[in-house]
Amino acid sequence: MSIHNKLKPSKDAPYPDTFDHKRWRECMKNPHDVGGELDVPMQYEEKEEEQWELNTYVICECLAWRGIWNAEERRRRQNVDFGNSNYLALPYYGRWLITAARIIVDKQLVTLTELVNKQEEVRKRYE
Amino acid sequence: MNRSHHADKATGVGDPQCFKGEAGPAKFKAGDRVRVKDLPDIFYTRTMQYCRNVVCEVVIATHESPAAEDEAWDNCDNPEWFYIVRFKQQDLWPEYPDTYSNDTLQTELSERWLELV
């Protein structure tokens, strides 16, 4: 029987001399690997996508079409690289959108300075 | 940046169809009993921890594709076979009730994760 298919309580950061291999494997578990983890039932809502969600999907498809990433790299970035807390905190398409912004900075299509300046410029339109 | 991405390769063909014939002969066949390896999880995988070290049955060799661990960094040099495998739910979950002992779970894993029992 696997050692992994058991519920695990969160713990405080351990002292280095108490950090064993089992704990290491728990830390390295990918955030999207949620099978068997404790959760509560969700209310199913029958609703259409927000416009920004549809736009986000199109942006991400265009990034693939133009060879900026493939679907697996997108999934790595939006499901795993952002870490457990963001995986659970952001809406589904929120993770797509922040990941689209991240890839254009990582692959040096725009600088973070340019992106931040643009965000600030757009925000001021709504003041 | 390399613009000759596999988007080009997949256009008009489909993905994973565009990798057909690139993985060599399939190592496993339908009916084989295999165990899921417990490889490291570092950085990225799509192989769930709950199925590690659990024995299952190969249902079919489905397609050839770069493994998720490679494709996630845009490395498409070594496509491998993917298999649909079937677990008994009771083999996965210790608390799974005897009432539903016939329940199974199917998933798809790449060849590197499997070994013959």
Domain boundaries, chain B: 6-116
A66 or B62, greater pLDDT: B62
* pLDDT higher than threshold 90 for residue B101: yes
Would an 8 Å CB–CB cutoff place B12 in contact with chain A? Answer: no
Q: B111 and B79 in contact (C-beta within 8 Å)?
A: no
* pLDDT higher than threshold 80 for residue B4: no
d(CA A30, CA B46): 8
Residue A47 identity (one-letter amino acid): K
Number of domains in chain A: 1
d(CA B47, CA A48): 31
pLDDT of residue B6: 75
Q: Is A72 a domain residue? A: yes
Mean pLDDT of chain A: 91
Residue A64 lies in domain: 51-125
Give the model confidence (pLDDT) of A60-89 as tens digits: 999 998 889 999 999 999 999 999 999 999
Which ranges constitute the DSSP H helices of chain A? 21-28, 51-65, 71-75, 83-89, 92-106, 112-125
Contact B5 A70 (CB under 8 A): yes
CATH level 3 topology of B6-116: SH3 type barrels. (2.30.30)
Place of tokens 């298919």: A5
- Across B11-39, b (16+ Cβ under 10 Å) vs e yields eeeebbebbeeebeebbbeeebebbbebe
- What stretches in chain A show pLDDT beneath 50? none
State how far residue B80 is from chain A, nearest Cα, in angstroms. 15
Query: Catalytic amino acids of A?
Result: 92
DSSP per-residue codes, B5-65: -HHHHHTTT-TTGGGTT-S-S-S--TT-EEEE-----SS---S-GGGTT-EEEEEEEEEEE
CATH number at A108 reads 1.10.472.20
Q: Is B90 exposed, middle or buried (0-12, 13-18, 19+ CB in 10 A)?
A: middle
Contact B3 A66 (CB under 8 A): yes
CB nearest A67 (choices: B7, B44, B71)? B7
* pLDDT higher than threshold 90 for residue B11: no
